[in-house]
Amino acid sequence: MSDLSLMEYEKDAGFGDYFALLKPRVMSLVVFTALVGLVVAPGTVHPFIAFFAILCVAIGGGASGALNMWYDSDIDAVMKRTAARPIPSGRIERGEALSLGLALSGFSCAMLGLATNWVAAGLLAFTIFFYAVIYTMWLKRWTPQNIVIGGAAGAFPPMIGWAAATGGISVESVLMFMLTFMWTPPHFWALALFMNSDYDAAGVPMLTVTHGRRVTRKHILAYTLALAPFALAILLTSIAGPVYAFVAVVMNLLFIKGAVQIYRRSEAQAEADKYAVERKFFRFSLFYLFLHFSALMIDALLRGYDLIGTGVFGGLLGGTF
């Protein structure tokens, strides 16, 4: 055996490398929001079927992550943050990632369809398609609005959870989608403001680079203001309760306050305190989404024990499409 071929063997992938292709950190948000969508939905689902459905959603999310890593391996190799991923580091072949992504996509959708219903499976298939094709192949390298439209892929899981329980789409599930969809841009643009990313070197148009930081700050404020009505509109549905009402009012006020602070700051001010406000806003945005969905889950549990009624305002909005 030559030294060269031995080096090839030294790059053999371990199990963890294949798991890393599934982007487990992204998966955690997907699992959590899908679980909330399933728990707050009316009706009961067998606990094992519910667990299996969430697992399918997680595997589907992982599959789209593998497809993303397959397609983006060229730009991952250029950027420092992603250079150690399994494909650019040479531990996994591109074709392997593609095969794994396609196989898990088909598997997760088919199993979700068999376990629950085909509306949920169809939504999962569309989510994978949206992330892998619409976002990764098309929008990401083409427009600085990539984050906005691509955010839809991360917003579908609560709708899938809801569909798994009810077999349909409703006002409540669309509003949960909108909550995550509108939250994504301010969350990522706040990160883009203080992260010295090398997206530019990789040829990925990010708003901070293409339109400047001033415009990015304006966009953060605009999207944060646009997000609040959707978060508060959930109060009009049957899934909201007193816990959600408290969280939504307080968190949206604080989020808007943070966005206004970001908007008012100049680059000189931000550099002087090493982007302290932007970092704080980014951390807060994580809490924002987590607390909104947690509050919905707590209200659903309280409702399950008949401790609270249906909706804060009796569920004015609602209905299955």
Partner 1 sequence: MAITRDSQMHKRRLSRNIGLGFVLIAFAGMVFGLTIAKVSVLDPARLEAEQAGEAPAMPFETAPLAPQEPAASPEASQ
| Chain CA centroid to CA 316, Å | 28
SS3 string of the chain?
CCHHHHHHHHCCCCHHHHHHCCCHHHHHHHHHHHHHHHHHCCCCCCHHHHHHHHHHHHHHHHHHHHHHHHHCHHHHHHCHHHCCCCCCCCCCCHHHHHHHHHHHHHHHHHHHHHHCCHHHHHHHHHHHHHHHHHHHHHHCCCCCCHHHHHHHHHHCHHHHHHHHHHCCCEHHHHHHHHHHHHHHHHHHHHHHHHCCCCHHHHCCCCHHHHCHHHHHHHHHHHHHHHHHHHHHHHHHECCCCHHHHHHHHHHHHHHHHHHHHHHHCCHHHHHHCCCHHHHHHHHHHHHHHHHHHHHHHHHHHHHHCCCCCCCCCCCCECCEC
Binding mask 17-56 toward partner 1 (x if CB under 8 A, else -) reads -xx------------------------x-xxxx--x--x-
14 binds partner 1 (CB under 8 A): yes
Stretch that binds partner 1, among 2-10, 194-202, 283-291, 300-308 (CB under 8 A): 2-10
Stretch that binds partner 1, among 13-21, 161-169, 211-219, 268-276 (CB under 8 A): 13-21
Q: How far is the CB of 52 from partner 1 (least distance, A)?
A: 6
Site for partner 1 in 147-186 (CB under 8 A): none
Among 3, 95, 305, 314, binds partner 1 (CB under 8 A): 3
Stretch that binds partner 1, among 9-17, 135-143, 145-153, 189-197 (CB under 8 A): 9-17
Stretch that binds partner 1, among 3-11, 234-242, 255-263, 267-275 (CB under 8 A): 3-11
1 binds partner 1 (CB under 8 A): yes
Site for partner 1 in 50-109 (CB under 8 A): 52, 55
115 binds partner 1 (CB under 8 A): yes
Among 6, 95, 305, 321, binds partner 1 (CB under 8 A): 6
**Number of residues lying near partner 1 (CB under 8 A):** 21
Nearer to partner 1, 16 or 203 (CB): 16
Tokens of 314: 């009796």
Q: At which residue do the structure tokens 């404020």 appear?
A: 221
Nearer to partner 1, 44 or 196 (CB): 44
Among 4, 12, 274, 314, binds partner 1 (CB under 8 A): 12
Q: How far is the CB of 3 from partner 1 (least distance, A)?
A: 8
Q: Enumerate binding residues for partner 1 (CB under 8 A).
A: 1, 3, 6, 9-10, 12-16, 18-19, 44, 46-49, 52, 55, 114-115
